[in-house]
Amino acid sequence: MKSELPPSFIDRLAEIVGPENCLSRSGELFAYECDGLTIDPHQALAVLLPETTDQVSRIVRVCRESDVSFVPRGAGTGLSGGAHPTENSVLIECSRMNRIVEVDEANRLAVVQPGVVNAELSKAIAHLDLFYAPDPSSQQACTIGGNVAENSGGPHTLKYGTTTNHILALEMVLPDGSVERFGNRLGEGPGFDWVGAIVGSEGTLGIVTEATVRLTPIPEGVETLLAIFDDVVAACRAVGRVIRSGVVPAAMEIVDKRTIEAVEASVYAAGIPTSAGAVLIVELDGNPVCLSGEIAAIDAACRAEGCQTIERARDEEERTRFWRARKGAFGAMGRLAPDLYVHDAVVPRVHLPEILATVGEICDRYRLKLANVFHAGDGNLHPNICFDKRDADELERVTRAGEEILEACVAVGGVITGEHGVGIEKRDYMHLVFDDADLEPMYRLRDTFNPDGACNPGKIIPTTRFCVESNPKARGYDAVPL
C-alpha cells in the first residue's frame, strides 16, 4: 500500500509538524504498532506528533487527498485496540498537545488539550482543593483525549460516574478536516447532546483536540476499609448488601485469592494474609460527620456475609497500602505468566456471585489460570487470564474461554465491555448484545461524521453491515440524499 502513495506524501506531512515529529522509519514505527492490546499489531505509514489543532486539521486534509486513513492515539494504554493502526493509515499521536489551557476555579472547570495526562491534571489543581474525578487504573500514563475516546471509568466510577459525566465541551477535527466545537461550559445545551455521543466513540467520529472538563471538590473526609472474606462469593454478597443499605461508597473493589497471592509475593505486597479468600476494599468520602454512620453500615453488611476482619485505614500511608492490593494487581500478575488477558464485562450486580462461579468453571474447563480483580460496586468484572501466547493451543483456549465468559455475562443481562471499549477486540462480539436493528442507528451516527470510514476505520462497530429490513411502505435509507 505504501508504495502506491506519491513519495511526496510523507514529506507533506513532515512539513506540517516538522520532520522531527513525523516518524516513518520502520524502527520508529515499531513502538506504535499496537496499544495495550498486543494482538494483531499493524505498522502505520507514519506517526505524526502534532502540537496544534491546526496541524491536526492539515494532517487530516492531506490524508484525505491521498486516500489514507488516520487513527488518533493518546498514550496507547487502551486495552481493546482502539488506537491500533490499520491498513494504509497514519497515526495521529496527541501527546505533544499537553497544555492545561485554562482553569476556572469559581465555575469548577478546566480546558485542556487531549494529551494532558489524567493524573497530571489532578496534581495541577490540587492546590485549589479540586480534582478530576475519573481515575482509570492507567491514570499515571493515560491522557484525557484517550479517556474521552473510551469513556474511561475507574474504581471511583461508583460514586462519581465515568468520563462522560465530566466532559462539558469538546473541540474536534472532523474527518473532513474542519474544526468544530461541541457543548458549552455548563454540560447542558439546546440541540443534540453531541458531547454525549462523542465521548466513548473511540475516535471514530473525529479527533478531539480540546476538552472542557468538570472539576470536583476534594472531599473533606475519606475513609478506606479493607474487609477480608473466606471466599469471593461472600465478598460479592456483601457488596449486594451495601447497595441495598442505601450507602453509596466512592469505590467498592474486590481482589480474589489468586491475585492476593500474586500481590503478596511481589513488590506491591499489602500485608494481606495469603490465607484470605478475597478482600473487599470500600472507600467512603464526603462530609466527615456522615462517615461514621456509613462505616457502621458497611461493617454490618460485611459481617452478615461472614467477614471476620475489617480494617480501617488510620492514615494516608495505610490507605495507600490497602489500595496497593488493588492497584498493584496487574503488575504483580506479571509473575504468574508471560501474558495476561484482561477481560472486561459488566453484569447486574445481583448476578456477581453466580457469574464469578461460572467464570471460574469456564477457566477450569479450559485449563487456564484465572485471577479476578474488579469494580464490584458497578458489577464490572475483570477476569484476568494468565497465559503464554507462544503456546498456540493455550492461546486458542484463552480466546474460547473469553467468548464463553462474554456469552455468560450477556445471558444474565450484562454487556461485553464496561470501560475498556470495543475497539477491534470486541467488535465482532457486538452481536451478542445488539441485533442488526440496534446497530443500524450506530452506523448512521458514524456515517454522519465519518461517511467513508477514513477516521479510525474498523473500530467499535462490526465492519460488515447488514441491511435492516424496513417496512416495505417506508422508503429505503439509501434513497436519501446525504
Task: Categorise residue 177: left if φ over 0, alpha if ψ from -120 to 50, beta otherwise.
Answer: left
The one among 434, 453, 457, 465 contacting another protein by CB under 8 A? 434
| Site mask for another protein (CB under 8 A), range 310-339, x = bound | ------------------------------
Picking from 6, 2, 45, the residue whose alpha carbon sits closest to that of residue 22 is 45
CB of 176 to another protein, least distance (A): 11
Give the span between the Cα atoms of 362 and 356, in whole angstroms: 10
The one among 334, 437, 452, 466 contacting another protein by CB under 8 A? 437
Which spans in 224-287 are helix H? 232-245, 257-264
Restricting to residues 95-114, name those near another protein by CB under 8 A. 106-107
Query: Which grid coordinates are listed for 15?
Result: 512539513
Give the span between the Cα atoms of 192 and 309, in whole angstroms: 50
Restricting to residues 341-380, name those near another protein by CB under 8 A. 346-350, 375, 378-380
The one among 188, 315, 317, 393 contacting another protein by CB under 8 A? 188
Size of the site for another protein (CB under 8 A): 94
Restricting to residues 438-467, name those near another protein by CB under 8 A. 438-442, 444-449, 460-461
The one among 293, 304, 411, 467 contacting another protein by CB under 8 A? 293
> Which residues have C-beta within 8 Å of that of residue 457, sequence separation ≥ 6?
69, 71, 86, 89
| Site mask for another protein (CB under 8 A), range 146-185, x = bound | ----xx-x---x---xx-xx--------------xxx-xx
Q: CA geometry: angle at 299 spanning 294 and 301, to 5°?
A: 95
The one among 31, 265, 290, 304 contacting another protein by CB under 8 A? 290
DSSP assignment of 115-133 equals TSBHHHHHHHHGGGTEE--
CB of 381 to another protein, least distance (A): 11
Which spans in 93-231 are helix H? 118-125, 144-150, 157-160, 194-198
The one among 177, 189, 331, 453 contacting another protein by CB under 8 A? 189
> Which residues have C-beta within 8 Å of that of residue 26, sequence separation ≥ 6?
43
Q: Which is nearer to another protein, 196 or 360 (CB)?
A: 196
Does residue 131 bind another protein (CB under 8 A)? no
Give the span between the Cα atoms of 286 and 309, in whole angstroms: 24
The one among 139, 418, 450, 454 contacting another protein by CB under 8 A? 418
Amino acid in the structure at residue 189: G
Which residues pair with residue 371 across a beta bridge? 384
Give the span between the Cα atoms of 151 and 144, in whole angstroms: 10
Q: Which is nearer to another protein, 33 or 193 (CB)?
A: 193
The one among 3, 127, 246, 390 contacting another protein by CB under 8 A? 246
Interacting stretch for another protein, rule CB under 8 A, among 66-74, 137-145, 239-247, 387-395? 239-247
Q: Which is nearer to another protein, 58 or 237 (CB)?
A: 237
CB of 39 to another protein, least distance (A): 20
- Strands (DSSP E) found in 230-329: 251-256, 278-286, 309-312
